[in-house]
Amino acid sequence: MPNTPDVQVRRVYEPAESDDGARVLVDRLWPRGVSKDDAQLDEWCKQVAPSTELRKWYSHDPAKFDEFARRYRAELKVCEQAEAVRHLRGLAVGRRLTLLTGTKDATISEAAVLADLLKSRR
């Protein structure tokens, strides 16, 4: 698809790479054991994170991922979160956007759902 945003997902615990582009933490809570210097963030976009209720319900259970993704996408249509999604879309224009998460398995995280949403332009 032409002009598909270049968005990748990485764990915040991994060292920064020279081709990461804009590095944005998308977790609501600061990851344990990572200093702000070590994270090498461009910004922390808490507003785009899932609600506390959804995050606690999901608890990163792989069996719940599809339902989590559906519920999270619905949350991302709400005013403050929708504005944060628009902001992230802007950061991805003309450069790579790296969404960071402290989750053990980034492939079943809110960052993965968000990356898919940003790439699809929905």
In the chain, where the domains are located: 7-120
pLDDT at 3: 75
Whole-angstrom Cα distance, residue 66 to residue 72? 10
pLDDT at 1 over 90: no
pLDDT at 98: 98
Q: Are 85 and 48 in contact (CB under 8 A)?
A: yes
3-state helix, strand, coil in the chain (%, to 5): 45, 15, 40
pLDDT at 54 over 70: yes
* Average pLDDT score over residue span 59-78: 96
pLDDT at 79: 82
* Average pLDDT score over residue span 25-53: 95
Whole-angstrom Cα distance, residue 101 to residue 111? 6
Q: Are 24 and 97 in contact (CB under 8 A)?
A: yes
pLDDT at 97 over 70: yes
pLDDT at 121: 66
Mean pLDDT of the chain, nearest integer? 94
Q: Are 46 and 19 in contact (CB under 8 A)?
A: no
pLDDT at 122: 57
- Split at pLDDT 50, 70, 90, the class of 90 is very high
Which amino acid type is present at position 108?
I
Residue 42, burial from CB neighbour count under 10 angstroms (0-12, 13-18, 19+) = middle
* Average pLDDT score over residue span 18-29: 96
* Average pLDDT score over residue span 90-117: 96
Q: Are 32 and 59 in contact (CB under 8 A)?
A: no
pLDDT at 4: 83
Whole-angstrom Cα distance, residue 85 to residue 92? 11
